[in-house]
Amino acid sequence: MNVYDFDNTLYKGESTVDFAFFMMRRNPEIYAWIPTIFWYLLMYRLCLVTKERMERVLNDFLKVLIRDSYDLTAMVRAFWRENSHRLNRRLIRKIRPCDVILTASPDFMMNVIGKHLGTEHILCSEVDIPTKTIRYLNFGTNKVKRFRAQYPATEIERFFTDSYNDRAMMTLARRVYLVSGGRIRRIK
């Protein structure tokens, strides 16, 4: 089995951040969140954000982002129509039905695009839409917990990621590949 990170690996960019910008055109309240989003994105890239802090900020942001489930589903579909060109088709073609995609991106986004990714095995963050809160943040060591809960004895042949934030997952794989700027480089 191969395992793939999603953002900056299968998708060129941070899909959740791109979705926030997409939503800004429709909801001006989101503009106030721009500095916070960029700050936490930077801290995420530098591995300096705790899971708990990230969850608190995201829950606050969700209350502004999500108005209702119908509106959200329509917006997510429109987002993917506009941004599906950012998918790394070359890497996606390598995904087999038994492979797994791990991502911190929320389920409401991944449920819409998932059928285009070559596998039904997508482990992502879970958001409770009615309460506008994160039920499970699939980030950092939580990715390992979720993976092991779903696939307790499965060995990972290859793991593809863009970031050392996924060190915990890297330790589970025989081979690790770093994806950057469309190039794939073996690091383990």
Give the pLDDT score at 37: 72
Question: What CATH code is carried by the domain that includes residue 117?
Answer: 3.40.50.1000
Give the pLDDT score at 98: 96
Please list, in sequence order, all residues whose beta carbon lies within 8 angstroms of the beta carbon of residue 69, skipping any fewer than 6 positions away: 129, 130
The total domain count for the chain is 1
Please list, in sequence order, all residues whose beta carbon lies within 8 angstroms of the beta carbon of residue 39, skipping any fewer than 6 positions away: none
Please list, in sequence order, all residues whose beta carbon lies within 8 angstroms of the beta carbon of residue 101, skipping any fewer than 6 positions away: 3, 4, 5, 6, 10, 95, 110, 114, 117, 119, 121, 122, 123, 124
Q: In terms of residue numbers, what domain contains 75?
A: 2-186
- pLDDT tens for 154-179 read 999 999 999 988 999 999 999 999 99
In this prediction, residue 20 has a pLDDT band, given cuts at 50, 70 and 90, of: confident
What is the spatial distance between Cα 183 and Cα 76, in angstroms, rounded to a whole number? 28
- pLDDT tens for 28-84 read 777 888 788 778 877 877 778 877 787 788 778 878 777 666 588 889 999 999 999
Q: What is the pTM of this model?
A: 0.84
Give the pLDDT score at 70: 58
As beta bridge partners, residue 184 has: 179
- pLDDT tens for 72-131 read 888 999 999 999 999 999 999 999 999 999 999 999 999 999 989 999 999 999 999 888
pLDDT above 70: residue 180: yes
Conformational region of residue 77, where left means phi above 0, alpha means psi within -120 to 50, and beta covers everything else: alpha
